[in-house]
Structure 1
Amino acid sequence: MSESEHVLDWLQSWYAAQCDGDWEHEWGVSLGTLDNPGWIVRIDLEETALKDREYPRQRLTRGEHDWVMAWTSERTFHIACGPGNLTEGLSIFRSWASEGGSGAL
């Protein structure tokens, strides 16, 4: 299996590590769909080690349904991507969150 195939396991572990009896009542991770078609992901960073880090808006477009966009705003990591790019988008979050040990599990 490739490293990207484990990104969902990593996200589950990251989420579980944030859950402290309080955080999960107000914050979390949401996954939805777009009508482009595509995916939208919002990962709350409030009250996490990542809350003050920024990720400037970046977009990579390879085709009409092959694209990924990621950015932070208002202490949230956002991912919007094409229907086949969810793993790629989540891998961007994992790489960013793991930089320099901040947010690494």
Structure 2
Amino acid sequence: MRPQVDDEQNCSFRLKVVLKPGVDVQACTPIADAASLVDADVMSEDNFSWLSRWYLSHCDDEWEHAYGVRIDTLDNPGWSLKIDLTATSLQDKAFERVTQGEPSDDLKGWHRTGSWWIASVQNGQFEAFCGPLDLSAAIGVFRRWADETAKH
């Protein structure tokens, strides 16, 4: 999902959701009505909401100034997710690198190979790289590890 401002059509908020390659749904609504596009009951249990709560639980007026969560795009296309583990319960915990699918070098390759992600811990950070529709799954890898680690 990528909100866009579109002045030409008097649209304050544009939402585009790619259902699968080549099939997408678009919605345009005034920003005041944007919340109606999101079902709070469905969103409350997703990986994005969980990550937001995890981040907030580590904010203590110090940690968030030096550490945090970074989400960025890749040019093949895809996403990168980096989560600082310093001063968290995960800082010294073991994490075995996990992979799913086959990374692609470009959009054409992604259409051919589909979903993929790679996750590891490097230099005190959880790092995940994934395909353009796999960001939630990559967050889910971190979530499962954090939840399992908390149980032990």
Q: TM-score range with shorter-chain normalisation?
A: 0.7 to 0.9
Aligned position for 1:96: 145
**SS at 1:55 equivalent:** coil
Quickly say closer, same or farther: Cα 1:7–1:94, change in 2 above 3 A: same
Give the counterpart of 1:26 among 50, 66, 69. Answer: 66
8 Å CA contact retained: 2:119, 2:126:
yes
Distance of 1:89 and 1:60 partners within structure 2: 10
Larger relative contact order (Cα-Cα within 8 Å, sequence gap ≥ 6): 1
Give the counterpart of 2:129 among 67, 80, 85. Answer: 80
Distance of 1:2 and 1:20 partners within structure 2: 29
TM-score scaled by structure 2?
0.61
TM-score scaled by structure 1?
0.87
Q: Which runs of 5+ in 1 are unaligned?
A: none
The list of structure 1 runs, each at least 4 consecutive aligned residues, that deviate by more than 4 angstroms after superposition, is: none
8 Å CA contact retained: 1:66, 1:82:
yes
Distance of 1:38 and 1:100 partners within structure 2: 28
